[in-house]
Structure 1
Amino acid sequence: MTIDPSSSVPGWISSLRGKILVALAGDPTGMAPYVRAIADGDDTGYFVENGPAWTVHAGMGTLVAGIRALLLQALHPGALAGVHDWSRYREDPIGRLTGTVRWVITLTYGSRTQADAETARVARFHRRVKGEYVGGDGSERAYTADATDLVRWVHLAFTDAFLAGHEVSRTAIPGGPDAYVADWATAGRLMRVVDPPLTRDALRAEIDGFADRGELRGDERVADVVRFLRKPPFPGVMGLSYRVLFAAAVATIPRRYRKMLGVRRWPLPVLTLTRLILRVTERALGSGPRAQDMARLRLARLEREGREAA
């Protein structure tokens, strides 16, 4: 398989691609060392080529989904305490973003060996994350990043956000939304989530269950996160585009949770504007190799080696 990153595209598209890839992969070419390593490995990975997880995570809707996931996750005071106490998202928002993207990309497209190593890296960091927070019921509680309820909440918020973000782009998912929820449940189990939901209805019922039990809330700390996410330090065209993506993320959140977050939907056709931005972004990223191309190199090599050994 030959990858030709030299496609003829306007200069501003190439420039935009570099800026996006610095934010997402920490490298202007998109070929950070961990992305290049996806071509290595001796197994096909946890997720099927062109299956639900491959399709959703390759889509431009992930740009909306990432914002939505952070907003929803912030409603759990324990999850938010971990971010507030241990994350450097204010000092280094791009570094925080690229760390999360690295985990998602590696699990989705890497070999099982690479995915397991990445999961272990995240787990080592999580073992240090601990502290105290005030629960939704006002009680003082201790937390650790690997606490069962917190890990579950993060998985639920992530899965729901990426499903909603993909639906903004109006691109079909192989097998439909339930297939994605069931597919990405594998990542939940790798992060020690017990019996993660396997359908969209079950997923959203669990999210509502957290709210019904009073485990979620909006407060000044949540408002502070919302203010930061509304306008992070992205300059120029990226900053303007981000504002539309933020509004799109808000538009996909049910009213119950928007009220907790203290956000409102734009009266403008924000989803239409978002689809335009996503198409431009897709054109920019399509002008060079991406993680799934590295995965296809690995899969093609494994298939070739299998034929030669037969």
Structure 2
Amino acid sequence: MNGTAPALTELRTRVAAGIFRRVAGPAGPATRDRIHLTPGPRWFAPDRPIRRVHGDASMFIGGLRALLLQSLHPLAMAAVAAHSGYRGDPWGRLQRTSTFLAVTTFGTADDAQAAVDLVRSVHGRVTGTTGEGVPYRASDPWLLGWVHAAEVDSFLRAHQRFGAAPLDRAGCDAYVGDMARVATALGVPDPPHDVRGLAERIDAYRSELRGTTEAREAARFVLLRPPLPLVARGPYAFLAANAVASLPPWACAALGLPSFPGPAGTAVRATGHALTRGIRWAMSPPPGTTGRRDPGAAS
């Protein structure tokens, strides 16, 4: 028994380091310290729902769901396929996204604004034409609105299903409102401020959404061919299954993905709870120690 505790601590440390390295990159520790230790006002106070959601292990499932849902807009998917490098550098893209979420959620107001300014600058350079000859630009406010709505819906649904402390209805509305602060800074006009407005906004895009060849190829890459070591592919497969299971049926159908009704859905959800609890355990400081191991991005 005497060797059990040190062995568990070592396992916990190794798992936490592996996860953090994947989502935050080699500069992760320095970025984390800058985000949390730099003094100054923040966009969001410590008690805001956005901090609870983005600091929880459910973000791993929510992030995958967001990528799948966002891909259903042909213009958004065309921009990703042509400019994001998600195939050649998927971890770099994840790390940039997770750092943006961490900085805007937990960082100083100055750093949050700088992160937004950088993203807007990048968006301004992303333009092109789809295979069908339709022009797109990443800075298009309507397109930004879809990316935002899909992201908010995915993060919130994953948190309500797998989060350690799901929000009540007022908290859910407040989370959507918190995210509207970031969306407005990014150039989204009149983003939704509550759950009802979010649902209405997603419905407003439904007629434009479809599973293009690029979207289905991206789904296969994200779900079936992640660049991961063999030991991590099993747990990842269960995270991916839960991301798919949490999509609306129309989104699964558009992407050619299976649905998980009845007992199958219950079984898949059980794996999601087990995995998020495991990630939460690994990323939390062991009893009697100090320090941060939050799963949310570089936070």
Same fold, TM exceeding 0.5? Answer: yes
Does the 8 Å contact 1:132/1:142 carry over to 2?
yes
Give, in angstroms, the shift of residue 10 of structure 1: 3.2
Deviations 1:230-272 (A, max 9, x none): 1212123321111111111111111111111111134251111
Distance in 1, matches of 2:7 and 2:110, equals 36
Moved over 2 A (4+): 7-13, 39-44, 170-176, 265-268, 290-293
**Aligned match of 2:240 in 234, 241, 246?**
246
Give, in angstroms, the shift of residue 290 of structure 1: 4.0
Distance in 2, matches of 1:166 and 1:116, equals 26
Partner of 2:78: 81
Does the 8 Å contact 1:127/1:146 carry over to 2?
yes
Task: Report sequence identity in percent.
Answer: 32
Give, in angstroms, the shift of residue 282 of structure 1: 0.7
2:174 aligned with 1:179, yes or no?
yes
Does the 8 Å contact 1:24/1:97 carry over to 2?
yes
Q: Secondary structure at the match of 1:176?
A: helix
Q: Could you list the runs of 5+ residues in structure 1 that have no partner in the other structure?
A: 1-6, 297-310
Does the 8 Å contact 1:109/1:291 carry over to 2?
no
Distance in 2, matches of 1:107 and 1:8, equals 36
Q: Residue 158 and residue 56 in structure 1: after superposition, are their counterparts in 2 closer, same or farther (change >3 A)?
A: same
Q: Secondary structure at the match of 1:10?
A: helix
Give, in angstroms, the shift of residue 284 of structure 1: 0.8
**Aligned match of 2:118 in 103, 118, 121?**
121
For structure 1, which segment, 162-171 or 65-74, has the greater mean C-alpha deviation from structure 2 after superposition?
A: 162-171
Distance in 1, matches of 2:63 and 2:125, equals 24
Distance in 1, matches of 2:281 and 2:32, equals 20
Q: Secondary structure at the match of 2:135?
A: strand
Partner of 2:17: 18
Does the 8 Å contact 1:247/1:265 carry over to 2?
no
Counterparts of residues 130-209 of structure 1 (less than 5 Å): 130-133=127-130, 140-170=133-163, 171-173=165-167, 175-209=170-204
Give, in angstroms, the shift of residue 12 of structure 1: 2.5
CA RMSD of aligned residues (A): 2.3
Does the 8 Å contact 1:41/1:113 carry over to 2?
no
Give, in angstroms, the shift of residue 41 of structure 1: 4.4
- Letter aligned with residue 279 of structure 1: R
- Letter aligned with residue 225 of structure 1: A
Partner of 2:223: 230
How many positions carry a matched residue from both structures? Answer: 281
Q: Could you list the runs of 5+ residues in structure 2 that have no partner in the other structure?
A: 1-5, 286-290
